[in-house]
């Protein structure tokens, strides 16, 4: 066997590479990636072409779109969308059937609104536990709002049917209910209409109710309060922060 230097081996390797199909293959792959990235960038919703398409579609929609798309149809679209998400997540068919049936029952009795006011949600919460509050002589529920230390657009609402303990305040994480909310770039008039203030709307992205995950609320005996929570979490309703949380007291302590 003839001894070869490292230089000889390297030159032979370069010759073999040049005489093979690999250089052309590498160039083809690089060009394909270049064109793919360029096309995806141009067709992105945030690119000039994508924005132009959205504007063109917007122009073709009727001005009375709210009248054209009725609320029951909107509700059914939500149920269908959730059903597809569950199916694609390999959730058992029994759960999908049960959850879809319950959601249909809920939206037939309580149409899902686009906006839910925090005042209405908390009033329903007070109503939910009014009888228990009377039996235990509770004055008001424990409600707290906590703004994220890292991003002021994120807010959590912690609330519990039991009042605050005067001698030792419970950590907010021990309260039975919690909604994680993200502020949207959208302001809505208050319930009083034209002369009311405008308030930010929030998207609810997480929920824990009565110490349990929200999935356990999908049942045939939901209350008004529970259905509002379902509309916020599953139905994509937006939560409008329109009130002072200290204003809510149980009826047995109203003057």
**What whole-number distance in Å separates Cα of residue 213 and Cα of residue 223?**
16
Are 41 and 127 part of one and the same domain?
A: no
| 121 shares a domain with 48 | no
Instruction: Please state, rounded to an integer, the average pLDDT across all residues of the chain.
Output: 76
Per-residue model confidence as pLDDT tens digits over 185-204 = 999 888 876 677 899 999 99
Angle between helices 93-109 and 71-88 (to 10 degrees): 170
**143-162 b/e with 16+ CB inside 10 Å = b?**
bbeeeeeeeeebbbbbbbbb
pLDDT of 78 reads 55
The structural domain count of the chain equals 2
Provide, rounded to the nearest whole percent, the portion of the chain with pLDDT above 70: 63
Q: pLDDT per residue over 138-173, tens digit each? A: 999 999 999 988 888 999 999 999 998 766 778 888
Domain end: 61, 88, 105, which one?
61
Query: What is the average per-residue pLDDT within 72-97?
Result: 56
Residue 143: inside a domain = yes
171 and 53, same structural domain? no
DSSP for 171-199 reads PGGGSSEEEEEEEEEEEEE-TT-TTSPEE
pLDDT digit string, tens, across residues 8-51: 777 777 778 778 888 778 877 877 777 777 776 666 666 666 66
pTM over 0.75: no
**What is the per-residue pLDDT for 79?**
57
**Which residue did the predictor score with more confidence, 189 or 77?**
189
Rounded distance between C-alpha atoms, residue 235 and residue 250, angstroms:
28
Environment class of 242 (CB within 10 Å of its CB; exposed 0-12, middle 13-18, buried 19+): buried
Q: Are residues 125 and 239 in the same domain?
A: yes
Predicted confidence at residue 234, as pLDDT, reads 75
Q: Give the model's pLDDT for residue 71.
A: 45
* Structural domain contains residue 228: yes
Pair (242, 125) in one structural domain: yes
DSSP category for residue 46: T
Dihedral over alpha carbons 68, 72, 76, 79 (to 10 degrees): 130
* Domain with 8 in it: 1-61
């Amino acid at each position: 066997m003839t001894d070869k230097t490292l230089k000889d081996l390297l030159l032979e390797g370069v010759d073999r590479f040049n005489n093979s199909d690999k250089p052309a293959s590498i160039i083809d792959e690089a060009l394909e990636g270049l064109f793919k990235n360029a096309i995806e960038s141009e067709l992105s919703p945030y690119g000039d072409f994508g924005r132009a398409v959205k504007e063109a579609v917007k122009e073709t929609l009727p001005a009375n779109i709210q009248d054209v798309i009725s609320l029951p149809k909107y509700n059914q679209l939500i149920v269908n969308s959730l059903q597809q998400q569950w199916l694609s997540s390999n959730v058992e068919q029994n759960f999908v059937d049960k959850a879809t049936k319950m959601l249909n029952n809920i939206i037939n009795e309580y149409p899902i609104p686009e906006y839910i006011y925090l005042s209405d949600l908390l009033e329903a919460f007070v109503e939910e536990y009014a009888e228990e509050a009377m039996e235990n002589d509770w004055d008001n529920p424990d409600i707290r709002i906590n703004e994220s230390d890292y991003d002021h657009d994120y807010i959590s609402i912690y609330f519990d049917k039991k009042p605050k303990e005067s001698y030792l305040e419970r950590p907010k994480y021990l309260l039975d209910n919690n909604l994680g909310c993200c502020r949207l770039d959208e302001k809505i008039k208050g319930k009083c209409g034209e002369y009311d203030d405008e308030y930010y709307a929030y998207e609810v992205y997480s929920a824990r109710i009565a110490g349990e995950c929200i999935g356990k609320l999908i049942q045939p005996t939901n209350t008004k309060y529970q259905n509002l929570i379902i509309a916020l979490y599953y139905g994509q309703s937006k939560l409008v922060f329109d009130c002072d949380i200290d204003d809510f007291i149980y009826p047995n302590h109203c003057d």
